[in-house]
């Protein structure tokens, strides 16, 4: 599907300042309304980029939103709007002449294109990042950039195929979030001082709206944490009672059953006693998982070789791997990362994840653990087991949710909590062609060597 880009190659300036101002005032009202209605960053970005590329707006050929990366002092393109070639621009213009969409319709179409990656500029800026001089973003205003005057930006100019562009910072406290980049790749129209003033206005309004969005997201996150804290408090009180009321008699029943099995008993009773021992042990494991989940965690961080930590966790399951016929491989792409983590807690994470992978392959298979160093450390644990239904992938880390016949559903929740306390993330996805891949990401702030 063609990009929904508001670029009119034939559009000429009105010739009368009042006419132009009138058009922009009309657009500014609709622009501000759309900003206030924005529910997420995609909504906001679509509104901004349509406003700066629309023929009735600023009329730039292309526009990009560049965002500062969290783990590096570099910028990466989030979204972009504009033609990849003059031929595409002409095609889009003809389509717009026929349809004559409203500003709101163009915003909606742009948002859908961003979400699905259906815009041609995606290939141009994919995986491209660069350092932007901090002094250029220090102010609030829009600035004109020329390739011959900004040698440090030459890679970006060459990548985009232009010699002139303009940018305006998106400032969200406490620092620069990113910036809007615009150029006239197709028409080569010079960027005027008037263009910079209007671009600056749009950037300021977008910054305010973006700040509002991020504050709301943080408030919702804090609200979620409060709710979770209340749940954990209730679970903690309940688990204390469970420990005294259930664990002791369960342990006693299991112990007595084991004792009776050592004596001479009728064969028909032996099977019952073995079942009692098995179920008592299962209940004890559930209780242990519950207390593991609600126990307070205070991280004691120290430098740790991540490969060694994984090797230690794997050693605990060597006999189980052999019995199940599971082939295990551990490889690190980029050396042996040293990370600042709590070794006991992080090892518990890997034990839970390896145990889950083992249980997913009762008939044997392959377990691959891959370490990647890129903007932090990514640990990929991939099994060739039965896999998790797609509709369950987002729920398996929820407390007490499990797809197993026997299980508490707390192992992944504990692992996720520990990883997030380190500032990382734990996610699951379907492996190809079969199985499950668990990704544990630890941010660059925890990586003490080999930073990219």
Q: State residue 225's pLDDT score.
A: 63
Spacing of C-alpha 219 from chain mean position: 19
The upper half-sphere exposure of residue 365, i.e. CA atoms within 13 Å in the direction of its Cβ, equals: 19
**Domain count for the chain:** 3
Q: Is residue 345 part of a domain?
A: yes
Radius of gyration of the chain from Cα atoms? 29
- Please give the residue range of the domain that contains residue 179: 17-215
Statement to judge: residues 209 and 224 lie in one domain: no
The verdict on residue 4 lying in a domain is no
Lookup: tokens for 399: 């407390």
Instruction: Tell whether 379 is covered by a domain.
Output: yes
Please state whether the predicted TM-score (pTM) of the whole model is above 0.75: no
Answer whether 205's CB lies under 8 Å from 35's CB: yes
Q: Which of 226, 247, 342 is nearest to 289 (CA)?
A: 247
* 285 and 182 in a common domain: no
Phi and psi at 304, nearest 5°, equal: -140, 140
Residues 189 and 313 in one domain: no
Q: Can you read off the two tokens belonging to residue 55?
A: 């023929």
145 and 231, same domain (yes or no):
no
Rounded Cα distance, 230 and 245, in Å:
23
Whether 250 is covered by a domain: the verdict is yes
Distance from C-alpha of 79 to C-alpha of 112, rounded to nearest angstrom: 12
* Spatial separation of the C-alpha atoms in residues 212 and 218, rounded to whole Å: 10
Phi then psi for 434, rounded to 5 degrees?
-140, 165
Q: Which two three-digit tokens encode residue 433?
A: 């062609």
Q: What is the pLDDT of residue 16?
A: 44
- Residue 134 sits in the same domain as residue 27: yes
Using the 3D structure, point to which of 244, 275, 294 is the last residue of a domain.
Answer: 294
451 falls within a domain: no
Residue 40 confidence (pLDDT): 86
If asked whether residues 207 and 224 sit together in one domain, one would say no
CATH assignment at residue 320: 3.30.565.10
What distance in Å separates the CA atoms of residue 213 and residue 170, rounded to the nearest whole number? 13
Tell me if 252 is assigned to some domain.
yes
Q: Which of 245, 272, 294 is the last residue of a domain?
A: 294
* Residue 232: its H or E element: helix 193-242
Whether residues 111 and 244 fall in one domain: no
| Domain assignment present for 3 | no
Asked if 188 and 111 sit in the same domain, the reply is yes
What is the structure's pLDDT at 235?
61
Please write the tens of the pLDDT for every residue from 111-164.
Answer: 888 877 666 677 787 778 888 887 777 766 899 999 999 888 888 999 899 999
Which residues make Cβ contacts (< 8 Å) with residue 6, sequence separation at least 6? 50, 53, 54, 55, 56, 57, 96, 106
Q: Report residues of the chain scoring pLDDT below 70.
A: 1-26, 70-72, 117-120, 139-140, 225-226, 228-245, 247, 285, 287-297, 388-411, 450-452
288 and 162, same structural domain?
A: no
Q: What is the CATH number of the domain that holds 60?
A: 3.30.450.40
Q: Answer yes or no: do 287 and 308 share one domain.
A: no
Per-residue pLDDT at 22: 61
Are residues 259 and 183 both part of a single domain?
A: no
Say which residues have a Cβ less than 8 Å from residue 329's Cβ, sequence separation at least 6.
366, 367, 368, 369
Asked, for residue 85, whether it belongs to a domain, the answer is yes
Q: Is residue 166 located within the same domain as residue 267?
A: no
Q: Where a domain ends, among 215, 232, 248?
A: 215
């Amino acid at each position: 599907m063609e990009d929904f880009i508001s670029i009119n190659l034939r559009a000429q300036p009105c010739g009368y300042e009042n006419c132009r101002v009138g058009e922009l005032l009309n657009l500014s009202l609709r622009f501000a309304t759309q900003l206030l209605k924005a529910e997420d960053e995609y909504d906001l970005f679509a509104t901004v980029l349509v406003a700066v590329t629309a023929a009735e707006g600023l009329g730039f050929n292309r526009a990009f939103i560049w965002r500062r990366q969290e783990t590096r002092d570099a910028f990466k393109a989030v979204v972009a709007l504009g033609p990849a070639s003059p031929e595409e621009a002409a095609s889009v213009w003809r389509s717009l002449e026929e349809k004559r969409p409203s500003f709101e319709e163009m915003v909606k179409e742009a948002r859908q294109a961003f979400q699905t990656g259906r815009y041609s500029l995606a290939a141009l800026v994919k995986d491209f990042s660069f350092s932007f001089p901090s002094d250029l973003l220090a102010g609030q205003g829009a600035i004109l950039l020329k390739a011959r005057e900004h040698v440090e930006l030459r890679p970006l100019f060459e990548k985009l195929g232009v010699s002139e562009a303009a940018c305006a910072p998106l400032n969200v406290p406490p620092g620069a979030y990113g910036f809007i980049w615009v150029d006239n790749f197709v028409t080569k129209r010079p960027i005027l001082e008037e263009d910079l003033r209007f671009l600056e206005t749009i950037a300021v309004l977008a910054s305010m709206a973006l700040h509002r969005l991020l504050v709301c997201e943080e408030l919702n996150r804090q609200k979620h944490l409060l709710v979770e804290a209340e749940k954990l408090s209730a679970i903690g009180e309940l688990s204390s009672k469970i420990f005294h009321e259930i664990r002791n008699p369960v342990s006693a029943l299991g112990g007595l059953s084991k004792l009776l099995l050592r004596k001479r008993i009728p064969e028909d009773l032996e099977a019952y006693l073995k079942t009692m021992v098995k179920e008592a042990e299962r209940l004890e494991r559930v209780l242990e998982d519950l207390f593991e989940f609600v126990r307070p965690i205070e991280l004691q961080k120290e430098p740790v070789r991540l490969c060694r930590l994984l090797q230690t966790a794997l050693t605990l399951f060597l006999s189980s791997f052999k019995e199940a016929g599971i082939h295990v491989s551990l490889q690190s792409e980029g050396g042996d990362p040293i990370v600042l983590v709590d070794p006991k807690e992080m090892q518990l994470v890997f034990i839970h994840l390896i145990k889950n992978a083992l249980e997913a392959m009762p008939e044997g298979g392959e377990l691959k653990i891959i370490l990647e160093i890129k903007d932090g450390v990514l640990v990929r644990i991939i099994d060739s087991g039965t896999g998790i239904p797609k509709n369950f992938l987002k729920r398996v880390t929820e407390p007490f949710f499990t797809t197993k016949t026997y299980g508490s559903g707390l192992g992944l929740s504990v692992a996720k909590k520990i990883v997030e306390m380190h500032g990382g993330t734990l996610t699951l996805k379907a492996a190809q062609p079969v199985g499950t891949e668990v990704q544990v990401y630890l941010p660059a702030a925890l990586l003490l060597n080999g930073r990219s």
